[in-house]
Amino acid sequence: MTTNILFAAKAERWTTYETPLTKALTGAGIDFDLRTEFAPEEVDYIVYAPNSDVQDFTPYTRLRAVLNLWAGVEGVVGNETLTVPLTRLVDHGLTQGMIEWVMGHTLRYHLGIDGHINGQDGIWRNVAPPLAQDRKVTVLGLGALGAAVAQALAGLGFDVTGWSRSPKEIDRIHCECGPQGLQAALSEADIVVLLLPNTPATENTLNAESLALMPRGAFIINPGRGPLIDDDALLVALDSGQIAHATLDVFRIEPLPADHAFWAHPQVTVTPHIASETRASTASQVIAENIRRDLNGEPLLHVVDRTLGY
């Protein structure tokens, strides 16, 4: 029997995904019909972007699962009409891209690269950075991306602490959890990397109180979600010198408005949500494998826990 797969996303996504998704589904041995339009009652799976036109899942009476194209599911997880399993995208291409971006900006801070780039004034400043083993890096969020980033940083020799809401055990990473664990994880962090999901429980994880826990002159790297940081509190901490610099890839409003204070602040680096882009070729393989598993009675991978929101 042919499996009907609806691709529900913006038109430009279909242009990018049609060929690699067709190839991946064929390679997985699935007898499928992949389209951007079906009668709702004929659809078995939806490959989904939360900004698509599909917002009411009630008519999809044959639907078995919704496979999100993005790692973030905050745009769909609260949809009360969605009652079938929802999976988030955990893709090795996305993970590798995140590792590379975080490593680059961590090394930028660790090595003091900005000072050398901006300090071409004829003054010989012979001050070497410490070794990575003497630099404390905290990763907030130990899901698939956070754990991979933490282990990559540890692989370079950094002293890495990870924090999550629930207990975790990760090789070479000192893991903290819960409110007291967050205080401990921030209190010695020279560099903090935010890779938490966006949920009501994680909003403003970095606020005036938690920013004050960090050592004076610490650095922040946020490729996770914009609402993880209280923008006004961060600006105050930057102006006071409590935080030396922040590299921000994600924001509450995107694109970041041209008049936002982050653009002009000398201690903020803005990057345009490029820390890790979903690659169609690798994402398609993940989606095809999940459909193959479900059709063969195997459990879906990366199913979202609706109670946690990710």
pLDDT for res 296: 98
pLDDT tens digits for 238-254? Answer: 999 999 999 999 999 99
Task: Tally the C-alpha atoms within 13 A of residue 59's C-alpha that lie toward its C-beta.
Answer: 8
Token pair of 305, please? 């826990």
Q: Name every residue whose Cβ is closer than 8 Å to that of residue 299 and which is 6 or more positions away in sequence.
A: 293
Catalytic, out of 62, 174, 273, 306: 273
CA–CA distance, 3 with 18 (Å, rounded to integer): 16
Catalytic, out of 165, 225, 245, 302: 225
170 and 142 in contact (C-beta within 8 Å)? yes
Got the DSSP string for 260-294?
A: -HHHH-TTEEE--S-SSPPPHHHHHHHHHHHHHHH
Q: In order of start, what are the domains of the chain with their CATH numbers?
A: 3-91+278-295 (3.40.50.720), 93-270 (3.40.50.720)
The stretches in the chain having pLDDT less than 70 are none
pLDDT for res 104: 98
Mark whether 225 is an active-site residue. Answer: yes
Q: Name every residue whose Cβ is closer than 8 Å to that of residue 308 and which is 6 or more positions away in sequence.
A: 199
224 and 250 in contact (C-beta within 8 Å)? yes
Percent of the chain with pLDDT over 90: 91
Mark whether 273 is an active-site residue. Answer: yes
pLDDT for res 119: 80
